[in-house]
Amino acid sequence: MTSVPYPAGPIHLAKLHATGNDFLVWTRLDPADDHAVPTAFARALCDRHTGIGADGLILLTAGVDGADATMTLHNADGGIAEMSGNGIRCLAWAAAEAGLGGDALVVDTGGGRRTIEIERDAVGGVHAATVDMGPVTFDPAAIPVDAPSAFDLTAEFHGVTYRGDAAGMGNPHFVCFVDDVESARVAQHGPHLETDPRFPRRTNVEFVAPDGASALRMRVWERGVGETLSCGTGACASAAVAHRRDLVGPRVTVRLPGGELTVDIGDTIRLGGPVVHVFDVDIDPAMLETDAA
């Protein structure tokens, strides 16, 4: 094991969660800072045994070209992800604390520019947010998925056949319909479905079942993370797929192990849900350890 040599000196992080999907947010607004985060450092911070622990590390930096802020997201495995609907609501809390934007926030992400409407409590703290997530795509090249169509895909593993659709929300998703979400073998089959060779960037995998005319139940295997309590982009992708199949209307409650999210489907998709600040922490990177450079 070797220590992580980056950066020098203590750093300040905020830990937040959005329906149980938890993130570390590192605010670095000085343009002169080196904003590149080594994979091993992000992975070490997110490690739940030897680090602080989180589903991802979010770097909040200054915005450009009219944006209030820029979001760079590292999954728990250290790799870069394009977008997180829950993560960007956590970023909105940190941006408000830093004095960025107002009740609306414009953020550039790896999945494109997003606009966030912030909801504050009686003392002015951010407790919820609604994000314009942009349009869903079912174009195989844009998702991306190597298939003639994003619809009616099947995948088999250990005798189980999964059926569903691929969708893009700035990141790739495979929405699989199952009879019983609770008994779905998310942890056992999710890693195999994530690396389905038809998805060149791997994929997030949603295990979904309708729950009435306006709700879905969902569990998720997140690319580069594992099973999480919630996934914002996954909720959006699942609602869009179910709506296209006439299983739900344009306003969908998505029920996840970590709580409920609201998805409104129109020309773009809007995602609403809570944000909870857990704690702030100062950590010396020299105290972290990793088994890779």
The highest-level CATH class for domain 153-267 is alpha beta
| Strand intervals (E) in the chain | 2-3, 11-18, 21-27, 56-62, 69-75, 80-81, 104-109, 112-120, 126-132, 153-157, 160-168, 172-177, 204-210, 215-222, 226-228, 251-256, 259-265, 269-274, 276-283, 289-290
The pLDDT of residue 1: 45
The per-residue pLDDT for 174 is 98
Choice between 288 and 290, residue whose per-residue pLDDT is larger: 288
The reported pTM is: 0.91
Average pLDDT over residues 178-189: 97
Give the 3-state secondary structure of residue 212: coil
Please give the CATH superfamily to which domain 2-132+275-290 belongs.
Diaminopimelate Epimerase; Chain A, domain 1 (3.10.310.10)
In this structure, what token pair is assigned to residue 116? Answer: 């966030």
Instruction: Quickly state the pLDDT bin for 36 (edges 50, 70, 90).
Output: confident
- Whether residue 200 is predicted with pLDDT greater than 80 in this model: the reply is yes
Amino acid at 107: V
Task: Pinpoint the residues of the chain covered by CATH 3.10.310.10.
Answer: 2-132+275-290, 153-267
Percentage of the residues of the chain whose pLDDT score is greater than 90: 87
